[in-house]
């Protein structure tokens, strides 16, 4: 295909603004798949994704479209993950494109995450085609939304397409706009290869399959190639495009988007953002923007049934095959036994992995409260990274601790500015900027500890703003904070998995809240259970779970036996998620209690 007939684009949209539906319609309209072949949402093909209405793994599809001028165009849609955890992945997907559709809900307007992605697209010099979707909603106000786009982003909206993907309105116009406004890719067919990896997945027959955009040069079957960052070399066994299932076409030319495979076994050899080049005649420079995977949030994963340890290990290894961002290493907890410390891109990533482990591998897990990575500077001059509160050195050995801060961007209707500020201050945020997007909507930025973000910041924002707040954040820097470890003792014994690191000024309050939350969660047992929160040896809060009352079926005669056994089975089932910590049975949710206190 001649470069001038290729268009590479992605779709930027907030959750629920209709990205997947638009993608479906484009696939359908261009005949890439017949309606019969289409699942409801082709691009979001994991169950979980469909359930949550978000895209976790990027997907790519090549659409063949005959333009108004009668020429055949190759349109490559690169779908991007739609969540703040995956900012880096989004940036690489955008770097593979020349343009993007900006899809905005005609009733709801621009949201924080959309904005973040638009800025990222602009940084990558992408041409942006605004699409106002859901124009047939009664509450649609396309003119206001256009104005908002012009005010906030400074985009010219005179070429904006008015569409309703659901009703099939504006689909042809979208395709024509892609052809008309998004530039064709440039590049030298004969230069040394530079192909950008923007995603990868594991196929049990072909090994790791890399999603690539050829920036310079070309790829053919049989070529010897090399990953510039990881140094891994391989021979191309399969190369082709997605329709949307992979189709081996034997080559990818400059400007094209598709996949490469070559018996690569380890997904970590195929890093998002890396550049593929010729093994023998490499490009002088890799493409810009590569960075290694850096987990932001850590938590412990433990099997409820300790005999499941090996199963959990297998499952994590299998997941990692397809998810280079997931890291884990064995960890031992006094309370929970053997498990794994796992690192994630963010809370959603963590949730998704945990749910998949339980759903796909049928494991019952205990997850400890998530933690960020603290930089601990010790009095002996050394520095350690701590992602598990129970690993924090004794207070006497700590010179100071630094914690990660993020730049958080919140967009809300102006009525809620006060609420956002109140919550953000309460979360130790430092106010940075406030800008009016239009008369009604305000964008506020805060410099705020990541630790506070993962502790229910967004939940509180949403409930204080009746769901209107949208949030985006990116790692800013590390700063010194006065942090202490709060330990929890059950029945007099410290439970390492319940320890948490909090700011000194809030430690007493957190300790009290945590103790009283645990009192609600931990069921009565045969003896009274004291719950204490302590900093070092100083107890800062105390609660008691009273001893449970007698619990025995009074009557069990000839007619009752089967029924009584079923009652016992039900009772046993209810306890499957309890972990015996010493002599206390602790339900799974206790280890997440810290996230549930207000």
Partner 1 sequence: MDAKQWGVYVHIPFCRQKCFYCDFPSFAGRERYWEDYTGALCREIAVRGSYYRQQWGKPATIYLGGGTPSILPEKFMKQLLSELRQIFLPDGKAEEFTVECNPGTVDEPYLAMLRNRGVNRLSFGVQSFDDTLLKRIGRIHNGQQAVDAVAMARRVGFANLSLDLMYGLPGQTLEQLKESVEQALSLKPEHISIYGLQLEEGTAFYRMQELGKLNLPTDDVTEAMYDYMTEYLPSQGYERYEISNFARPGFESRHNMSYWQDVPYLGVGAAAHSYLDGQRWAAFAELDRYMDAIKENRIPVEPEEAATTAIAIEEFCFLALRTAKGISREKFLQKFGREMDVWYGTVLRDLSARKLLVDDGRYVRLTRQGMKYGNLVFEKFLLDAQDF
Query: Which backbone phi and psi does 523 adopt, to 5 degrees?
Result: -70, 155
575 near partner 1, judged by CB under 8 A: yes
Window contacting partner 1 (CB under 8 A); options: 87-95, 287-295, 430-438, 550-558 = 550-558
Binder to partner 1 among 188, 526, 528, 544 (CB under 8 A)? 526
Least distance (Å) between residue 312 CB and partner 1: 17
- Residues 205 and 248: their CA atoms lie apart, in Å, by 14
Nearest to 272 by CA among 195, 379, 369, 196: 196
Of residues 35 and 555, the one with the C-beta less far from partner 1 = 555
**244: preceding bond cis by omega (within 30 degrees):** yes
Tell me how many degrees the CA angle 42-270-237 measures, rounded to the nearest 5: 80
528 near partner 1, judged by CB under 8 A: no
558 near partner 1, judged by CB under 8 A: yes
Torsion of CA 361, 363, 366, 372, to 10 degrees: -10
Least distance (Å) between residue 308 CB and partner 1: 11
Tell me how many degrees the CA angle 489-495-499 measures, rounded to the nearest 5: 90
Query: Residue for token digits 């969540």?
Result: 83
Window contacting partner 1 (CB under 8 A); options: 338-346, 399-407, 427-435, 568-576 = 568-576
Check: CB of residue 76 under 8 Å from CB of residue 179.
no
Check: CB of residue 55 under 8 Å from CB of residue 103.
no
Do the bridges between strand 127-133 and strand 99-105 make them parallel or antiparallel, or are there none, so unpaired?
Answer: parallel
Of residues 538 and 565, the one with the C-beta less far from partner 1 = 565
- Residues 227 and 235: their CA atoms lie apart, in Å, by 11
Of residues 536 and 574, the one with the C-beta less far from partner 1 = 574
What are the E-state strand segments in 396-515?
398-413, 430-436, 441-449, 470-481, 483-490, 493-494, 500-503
Check: CB of residue 499 under 8 Å from CB of residue 390.
yes
Of residues 431 and 527, the one with the C-beta less far from partner 1 = 527
Of residues 425 and 583, the one with the C-beta less far from partner 1 = 583
Window contacting partner 1 (CB under 8 A); options: 52-60, 103-111, 123-131, 543-551 = 543-551
Least distance (Å) between residue 552 CB and partner 1: 3
**Which string of x and - marks every residue 486-525 that binds partner 1 (by CB under 8 A)?**
----------------------------------------
Nearest to 491 by CA among 512, 518, 511, 451: 518
Of residues 407 and 564, the one with the C-beta less far from partner 1 = 564
Length of the chain: 598
544 near partner 1, judged by CB under 8 A: no
Of residues 366 and 584, the one with the C-beta less far from partner 1 = 584
Window contacting partner 1 (CB under 8 A); options: 17-25, 86-94, 256-264, 552-560 = 552-560
247 near partner 1, judged by CB under 8 A: no
Looking only at residues 369 through 408 of this chain, which bind partner 1 when binding is defined by CB under 8 A?
A: none
571 near partner 1, judged by CB under 8 A: yes
**Longest alpha-carbon distance in the chain:** 88
Of residues 36 and 555, the one with the C-beta less far from partner 1 = 555
Looking only at residues 198 through 237 of this chain, which bind partner 1 when binding is defined by CB under 8 A?
A: none
Buried b / exposed e along 396-428 (16+ C-beta atoms within 10 A): eebeebbbbbbbbbbbbeeebeebbbebbeebb
Window contacting partner 1 (CB under 8 A); options: 219-227, 277-285, 286-294, 570-578 = 570-578
Of residues 525 and 588, the one with the C-beta less far from partner 1 = 525
Least distance (Å) between residue 564 CB and partner 1: 8
568 near partner 1, judged by CB under 8 A: yes
What are the E-state strand segments in 336-386?
337-344, 365-367, 374-378, 383-386
Least distance (Å) between residue 551 CB and partner 1: 5
Structure tokens at 311: 């199963």
Check: CB of residue 469 under 8 Å from CB of residue 444.
no
- Residues 219 and 238: their CA atoms lie apart, in Å, by 10
Binder to partner 1 among 376, 572, 584, 590 (CB under 8 A)? 572
Least distance (Å) between residue 554 CB and partner 1: 5
What is the CB-side half-sphere exposure of residue 556 using CA atoms within 13 A? 11
72 near partner 1, judged by CB under 8 A: no
- Residues 131 and 120: their CA atoms lie apart, in Å, by 18
Of residues 394 and 558, the one with the C-beta less far from partner 1 = 558
Total binding residues toward partner 1, as defined by CB under 8 A:
23
Do the bridges between strand 327-333 and strand 219-220 make them parallel or antiparallel, or are there none, so unpaired?
Answer: unpaired
Q: Would you tell me the crossing angle of helices 142-153 and 112-123 to the nearest 10 degrees?
A: 50
284 near partner 1, judged by CB under 8 A: no
549 near partner 1, judged by CB under 8 A: yes
Least distance (Å) between residue 571 CB and partner 1: 5
Looking only at residues 306 through 335 of this chain, which bind partner 1 when binding is defined by CB under 8 A?
A: none
Query: Residue for token digits 């629920």?
Result: 16
280 near partner 1, judged by CB under 8 A: no
Least distance (Å) between residue 99 CB and partner 1: 56
Binder to partner 1 among 205, 380, 550, 598 (CB under 8 A)? 550
Binder to partner 1 among 205, 329, 381, 557 (CB under 8 A)? 557
State the residues that interact with partner 1 by CB under 8 A. Answer: 526, 548-559, 561-562, 564-565, 568-569, 571-572, 575, 583
């Amino acid at each position: 295909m001649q470069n001038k007939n290729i268009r590479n684009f992605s779709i930027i949209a907030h959750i629920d603004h209709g990205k997947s539906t638009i993608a479906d319609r484009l696939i359908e309209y261009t005949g890439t798949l017949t309606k019969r072949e289409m699942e409801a949402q082709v691009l979001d093909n994991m169950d979980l994704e469909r359930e949550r209405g978000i895209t976790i793994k990027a997907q790519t599809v090549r659409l063949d479209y005959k333009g108004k001028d009668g020429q055949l165009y190759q349109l490559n849609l690169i779908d991007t993950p739609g969540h703040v955890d995956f900012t880096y992945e989004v940036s690489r997907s955008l770097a593979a494109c020349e343009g993007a559709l900006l899809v905005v809900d005609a009733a709801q307007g621009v949201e924080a995450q959309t904005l973040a992605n638009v800025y990222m697209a602009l940084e990558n010099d992408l041409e942006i085609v605004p699409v106002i979707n859901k124009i047939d909603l009664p509450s649609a106000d396309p003119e206001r939304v256009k104005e908002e786009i012009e005010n906030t982003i400074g985009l010219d909206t005179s070429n904006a397409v008015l569409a309703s993907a659901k009703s099939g309105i504006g689909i042809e116009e979208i395709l024509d706009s892609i052809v008309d406004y998004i530039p064709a890719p440039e590049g030298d067919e004969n230069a040394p290869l530079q192909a950008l990896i923007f995603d990868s997945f594991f196929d049990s027959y072909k090994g790791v399959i890399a999603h690539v955009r050829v920036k310079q040069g070309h790829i053919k079957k049989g070529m010897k190639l090399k990953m510039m960052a990881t140094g891994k070399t391989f021979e191309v066994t399969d190369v082709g495009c997605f329709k949307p299932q992979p189709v081996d076409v034997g080559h990818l030319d400059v400007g094209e988007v598709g996949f490469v495979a070559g018996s690569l076994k380890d997904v970590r050899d195929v890093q998002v953002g890396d550049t593929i080049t010729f093994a023998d005649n490499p490009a002088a420079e890799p493409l810009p923007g590569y960075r290694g995977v850096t987990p932001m949030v850590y938590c412990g994963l433990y099997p409820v049934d300790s005999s499941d340890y090996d199963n959990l290990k297998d499952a994590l290894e299998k997941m990692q095959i397809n998810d280079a961002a997931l890291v884990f290493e064995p960890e031992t907890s006094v309370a929970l036994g053997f498990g794994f410390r796992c690192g994630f891109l963010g809370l959603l990533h963590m949730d998704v992995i945990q749910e998949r482990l339980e759903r796909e591998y049928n494991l019952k897990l205990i997850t400890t409260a998530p933690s960020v990575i603290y930089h601990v500077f010790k009095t002996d001059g050394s520095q350690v990274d701590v992602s598990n509160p129970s690993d924090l050195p004794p207070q006497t050995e700590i010179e100071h601790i630094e914690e990660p801060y993020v730049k958080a961007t919140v967009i809300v209707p102006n009525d809620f500015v006060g609420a956002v500020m109140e919550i953000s201050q309460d979360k130790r945020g430092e106010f940075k900027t406030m800008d009016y997007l239009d008369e009604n909507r305000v964008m506020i930025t805060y410099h705020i500890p990541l630790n506070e973000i993962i502790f229910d910041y967004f939940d509180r924002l949403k409930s204080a703003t009746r769901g209107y707040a949208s949030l985006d954040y990116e790692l800013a820097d590390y700063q010194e904070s006065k942090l202490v470890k709060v330990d929890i003792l059950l029945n007099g014994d410290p439970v390492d998995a319940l320890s948490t690191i909090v700011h000194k000024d809030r430690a007493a309050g957190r300790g009290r809240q945590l103790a009283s939350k645990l009192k609600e969660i931990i069921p009565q047992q045969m003896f009274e259970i004291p719950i204490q929160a302590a900093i070092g040896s100083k107890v800062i809060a105390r609660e008691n779970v009273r001893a449970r009352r007698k619990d025995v079926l009074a009557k069990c005669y000839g007619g009752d036996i089967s029924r009584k056994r079923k009652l016992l089975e039900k009772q046993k089932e209810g306890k499957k998620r309890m972990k015996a910590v010493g002599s206390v049975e602790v339900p799974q949710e206790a280890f997440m209690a810290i996230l549930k206190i207000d």
